[in-house]
Amino acid sequence: MAATSRGTTPEPPVVRPRLTVLSGPSGVGKSTVVAHMRKVHPEVWLSVSATTRTPRPGEQDGVQYHFVTDDEFDKLIANGELLEWAEFAGNRYGTPRRAVQDRLEAGEPVLLEIDLQGARLVRESMPDAQLVFLAPPSWDELVRRLTGRGTESPEVIERRLEAAKVELAAESEFDVTLVNTSVEDVARELLALMDVV
C-alpha cells in the first residue's frame, strides 16, 4: 500500500526562495550588516549594482558598485542589462541582470541590497523573492547614524531622510523586518533567512 492515504492532499514541495532583497532607509546599516555577513560567510554572493553616484572615500569600482557615467547608465537600460533600476536621492542605481540570473540558475543564494522602488520591481518580476526590511531602532538613531557616517553633505542627508520617511512607511510590504540594533545579530538572522546556516 502506498504511504499516501486516500483523501489527503499531498504536501506541495518546499520551494526555498533563492533571491533575497535587503532594503531599508539610508544609514540604517545595510552595508555594515552585509559586510559583516560576508566576513563570516565569504561564499554568500551579493550583487554589485551600477550607479551614477560618485564613490565615497574608500569605495572601489567593481567592489561596492560599478561606478558609471549617465551615458553608460542610459546604455545599460537601453540594452536591457538591468534587472531593475531606480533613481534615489539624485542618482541612479541598477542591478545587472546577467550575474543574478547566472547565480540563480546555478542554484546559489543571491542577495540584493537595493532601495524600496527596486524591491517593489523585483517583487513584480520575481514573486518568489524574499523581501527583508532593515529597520532602525528609532528615528533619532537613524538620523545619528546617517549624520555620523560623515559621507554626505547636509543637503544630501536631508534628501535621504525625506526618502527614509517614505521607506519606513512601506515596511508592511516586506516579508520580514529585522531591527538593526546589533550588527552581529542581524547578520545571523539574515543568513538564516537565506538558508546559509
Binding residues for ATP: 24-31
DSSP assigned state of 3:
S
- Nearest of 179, 95, 163 to residue 129 by alpha carbon: 95
Q: How far is CA 109 from CA 31, 46, 54, 104, 105, in A?
A: 18, 9, 29, 7, 10
Q: Which residue is nearest to ligand ADP (CB)?
A: 29
Binding to ligand ADP in span 119-138, by CB under 6 A: none
What is the binding site for ligand 5GP (CB under 6 A)? 26, 30, 49, 53, 84-86, 88, 93-95, 113-115, 117-118
Nearer to ligand ADP (CB atom), residue 18 or residue 25? 25
Q: Contact between 38 and ligand ADP (CB under 6 A)? A: no
CB of 190 to ligand ADP, least distance (A): 13
19 Cβ contact list (under 8 Å, min separation 6): 100, 104, 109, 110, 112, 122, 126, 128, 129, 130
Spell out, one character per residue from 152 to 181, where the chain touches ligand ADP: x when CB under 6 A holds, - when not: ----------------------------xx
Edge-to-edge order in the sheet of strand 91-96 = 65-67, 49-51, 91-96, 82-88
Q: Using CB distances below 5 to 8 A depending on partner kind, what does residue 53 bind out of ligand 5GP, ligand ADP, none?
A: ligand 5GP
**Residues found near ligand ADP in the complex (CB under 6 A):** 24, 26-32, 145, 148-149, 180-183
